Structure 1
Amino acid sequence: MGRNATPDVNAGPVPGAGAASLAVDVRGVSRVFAGRKGASVTALDDVSLTVAPGEFVSLIGPSGCGKSTLLRLIADLDTPTTGEIRVFGKPARQARIDQDYGIAFQQAGLLPWRTVTGNIELPLELHGAGRAARRARAAELIELVGLSEFAGHYPDQLSGGMQQRVAIARSLAESPSLLLMDEPFGALDEMTRERMQNELVRICGETSAAVVFVTHSIPEAVFLSNRVVVLEPRPGRIRDVLRVGLGNPGERGETLREDEEFFRAVSQVRELLHGEAPAGARGAATQ
């Protein structure tokens, strides 16, 4: 596996990719929230970002910089004040209607009265899939996330890491080509978090889904990503983009965390977060 942690100044996705073939295309997006007494808060200011199919992109920055706001806008859980967002060439709203993406949050959000199988089946059930098809897909995903022995268990019978695996499986139920993940491992202890990162890179390798991933953890962003997007404090703007040249995320293993190039990339992201640009680190969010 080729290793090169030096950032690529052409830090956009696959060269030559047209807008229709991009997983995510964010163009000049701003989000302004109305405040008290006529004041307003600018959460995002003129943000542009593209994500190629199969690419893993992490968003990192200080609290309040607009990471989760940007993810919610891509997911059509909120609407930009200005700008445009397209997902696989479609308006974000149409992509949501077409179930083109799956979404996972920090809290697993499982229904306590449903088993592991029942929770994973839920999105399929809501969209009219037959019972046999739901069961077959749920069984496939339960095996994918390594929980075959727990298919009949309820959420309160599972550890936090296991609950997150169920949530990830549920987000994959309709075979999305894009995963939107907002700090899905943030509430886990460090050992469980690393195991879940390993699981996620394996799952992404098997499904080839593109991922937009919000995190506060620099090592997590580096371990998982093709590119790390560093945002500035409010108003949220993209400060820089670091291409992480540590091989295909789906092929990364436990030993990568001890690799010299891994530590080098972690240091580069840390410097960018503090407003320092390592030599050659200036990147572009778009092509």
Structure 2
Amino acid sequence: MSRSPAPRTSTAHAIEITGVDRVFTTRRNDVVALSGIDLTVEAGEFVSLIGPSGCGKSTLLRLVADLDTPTAGTVEVFGKTARQARLDQDYGIAFQQAGLLPWRTVAANIELPLKLHGVASDERRRRCAELLELVGLEDFPKAYPEQLSGGMQQRVAIARALAESPRLLLMDEPFGALDEITRERMQNELVRICRETGAAVLFVTHSIPEAVFLSDRVVVMSPRPGRVVDVVRAGGDQMGTSHDRTDDVRDVPDFFHTVARVREHLHGSPQPRGGETR
């Protein structure tokens, strides 16, 4: 099947987060999860969020996904409110657990969002066949989740997230439960999928090498309250853009240097960023 990548430019940012705070109120006190977050993700860009546990990475992604509401500030997706972008199916979501329905086949799981939105059965089957080929599971449409490996289940989850051709993917540690070999293979697959679909990605991870390998930029966050410590650009002559990555990138000096820079920011004093590290 011949595909052309979607253009990497757009009249609106994929994501624009301005002055966002998120405070959770409990019986004992207020918990400040996020403070003063400013972040922009361009159309077609791959941006990872990394930081210590509890720094608000997943909370920030949930705000973009309209699964939560900021206490202060604004979140826009392609120039719309997060709620409107959700209603318009402008993004797909994949979590650490694949979340497949065990009583539905692979094809039926992938088709579910399309069925819920009233897409005709012939069109659902056509789109499902495209997605199965895209994620390399064209031989498994009638399989059930329990018959698949963890990596294969995550491929199905990614295919389902792409079912409605979103311009943005929101991914919360989608490979966190996989073994290291499968994880690297899935990272390679995600690079290929993003290259072929042109989708922008906001990606939450605890793995520094994963963030550097996948991303155009790595956003380093501080311990709670979560703030942006710095933004490290992952690219250059040796690494190329996020759409160009192959396994060979893991062995080039620029890769190791970028991993070291991200690690340095993670272990340094959490100060609000003053500029982007290149």
Shift of 1:110: 0.1
| Cα shift readout 1:26-54 (whole Å, capped 9, x = no counterpart) | 000000001123x1100000101000000
Tell me, in whole angstroms, the C-alpha distance in 2 between the residues paired with 1:159 and 1:170. 17
- The aligned runs of 1:44-55 (5 Å cut-off) are 44-55=34-45
Structure 2 match to 1:261:
254
Task: Output the CA distance in 1 between the equivalents of 2:274 and 2:176.
Answer: 28
Cα 1:253/1:282, change in 2 over 3 Å: farther
Bigger drift between 233-242 and 243-252 goes to: 243-252
Question: How much has 1:259 moved relative to structure 2?
Answer: 1.0
Q: 1:231 aligned to 200, 217, 221, which one?
A: 221
Unmatched runs of 5 consecutive residues or more in structure 2: 1-7
The answer to whether structure 1 residue 274 and structure 2 residue 267 are counterparts is: yes
Q: What's the secondary structure of 1:21's corresponding residue?
A: coil
Query: Where does 1:182-261 land on structure 2 (aligned, <5 Å)?
Result: 182-245=172-235, 246-261=239-254
Q: Give yes or no for contact 2:24–2:30 (8 Å, CA) kept in 1.
A: yes
Name structure 1 gaps, 5 residues minimum.
1-13
TM-score by length of 2: 0.92
How far apart, CA to CA, are the structure 1 residues paired with 2:81 and 2:276? 23
Deviation of the 1:254 alpha carbon: 0.8
Amino acid at match of 2:205: T
Residue 48 of structure 2 is aligned with which of 51, 54, 58?
58
Aligned-residue CA RMSD (Å): 1.7
AA at the equivalent of 2:62? R
Matched, 1:149 2:139: yes
Contact 1:242 1:283 in 2 (8 A): no
Q: Which moved more, 1:212-221 or 1:250-259?
A: 250-259
CA distance in 2, matches of 1:276, 1:46: 17
User: Are residues 227 and 184 of structure 1, via their aligned partners in 2, closer, same or farther at CA, if it must alter by over 3 Å?
Assistant: same
1:140 and 2:130 aligned? yes
> Partner residue of 2:113?
123
Q: Residue deviations 1:51-90, cap 9 Å, x none?
A: 0000000000000000000000000000000000000000
CA contact (8 A) 1:161 1:196 kept: yes
2:233–2:276 Cα contact (<8 Å) kept: no
- Shift, 1:21, TM fit: 1.1
Distance 2:276 2:256 in 1: 22
Higher relative contact order (CA 8 A, sep 6+): 1
Q: CA shift at 1:284, angstroms?
A: 4.1
Once the two structures are overlaid, the 10-residue window that deviates more, 257-266 or 155-164, is 257-266
- Offset of residue 249 of structure 1: 1.3
> For residues 232-266 of structure 1, what are the alpha-carbon distances to aligned partners after superposition, in whole Å with 9 as ceiling and x for unaligned?
00000000000111212122101111111111110
What residue identity is the alignment partner of 1:257? R
Query: In 1, are the aligned partners of 2:170 and 2:203 still within 8 Å (CA)?
Result: yes
Aligned partner letter, 1:270: R
**Counterparts of 1:48 and 1:93, CA distance in 2:** 19
Q: Give the secondary-structure state (helix, strand or coil) at the position aligned to 1:148.
A: coil
Q: What is the distance in 2 between the residues matched to 1:226 and 1:251?
A: 10
Alignment partner of 2:109: what SS? Answer: helix
Give the count of matched residue pairs.
265
Q: How many percent identity over aligned positions?
A: 68
C-alpha distance in 1 between matches for 2:46 and 2:128 = 24
Give the match's secondary structure for 1:36: coil
Q: Which residue of 2 aligns with 1:30?
A: 21
Query: Residues 258 and 276 (structure 1 numbering): CA distance in 2 closer, same or farther, change over 3 Å?
Result: farther
Aligned partners of 1:61 and 1:232 also within 8 Å: yes
Distance in 2 between residues matched to 1:284 and 1:249, nearest whole Å: 18
Give the conservation status (yes or no) of the 8 Å contact 2:15–2:76: yes
Shift of 1:131: 0.2
Moved over 4 A (4+): none
CA contact (8 A) 1:61 1:230 kept: yes
Whichever residue aligns with residue 35 of structure 1, its letter is T
Q: C-alpha separation between the residues in 2 aligned to 1:264 and 1:35?
A: 42
Shift of 1:282: 5.7
